[in-house]
């Protein structure tokens, strides 16, 4: 399971469920990578178009505006198009892990350095 780092994903209830279902393993996305979670992007769109526009005097008014926005938004759905390739995303994640000190074993560090060197050589020849 791939999840963000939201605290509710780490509760005792979740841990007990995982113990009862050993075939499942959790992989958390980095805390600074909300762009990997598409719902975060959508929440940003809702915030920009609904909640930042004005002050809602009640939760009912807020709900009404959110529902109206969702109707218009869903009437013309568009697929999310990644602007980077998978390799570019993984390279960025590798750099982040290295810079954040998340790569602890020497073998992984050497592999990452070799990949960067190979990529640098290939871009010079093209």
> pLDDT-derived band of residue 21, with 50, 70 and 90 as boundaries?
very high
23-27, 45-49, 108-112: segment of lowest average pLDDT: 108-112
**pLDDT at residue 53 greater than cutoff 70:** no
**Average pLDDT over all residues of the chain:** 82
**pLDDT for res 42:** 86
24-28: Cβ within 8 A, 24+ apart? 25/1, 26/1, 26/2, 27/1, 27/2, 27/3, 28/2, 28/3, 28/4
7-11, 51-55, 115-119: segment of lowest average pLDDT: 51-55
**pLDDT for res 104:** 66
Domain range annotation of the chain: 1-36, 38-81, 86-125
**pLDDT for res 125:** 64
**pLDDT for res 23:** 93
**pLDDT at residue 69 greater than cutoff 90:** yes
pTM over 0.75: no
**pLDDT at residue 36 greater than cutoff 80:** no
Mean pLDDT of 73-84: 86
Helix (H) or strand (E) holding 105: none
**pLDDT for res 116:** 78
């Amino acid at each position: 399971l791939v999840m963000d780092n939201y605290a509710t994903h780490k509760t005792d209830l979740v841990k007990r469920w995982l113990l009862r279902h050993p075939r499942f393993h959790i992989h958390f996305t980095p805390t600074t990578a909300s762009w990997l979670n598409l719902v975060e992007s959508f929440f940003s769109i809702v915030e920009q178009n609904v909640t930042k526009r004005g002050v809602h005097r009640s939760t009912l008014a807020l709900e009404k505006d959110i529902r109206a926005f969702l109707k218009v938004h869903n009437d013309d759905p568009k697929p999310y198009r990644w602007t980077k390739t998978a390799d570019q995303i993984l390279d960025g994640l590798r750099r982040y892990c290295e810079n954040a000190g998340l790569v602890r074993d020497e073998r992984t560090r050497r592999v990452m350095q070799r990949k960067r060197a190979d990529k640098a050589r290939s871009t010079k020849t093209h």
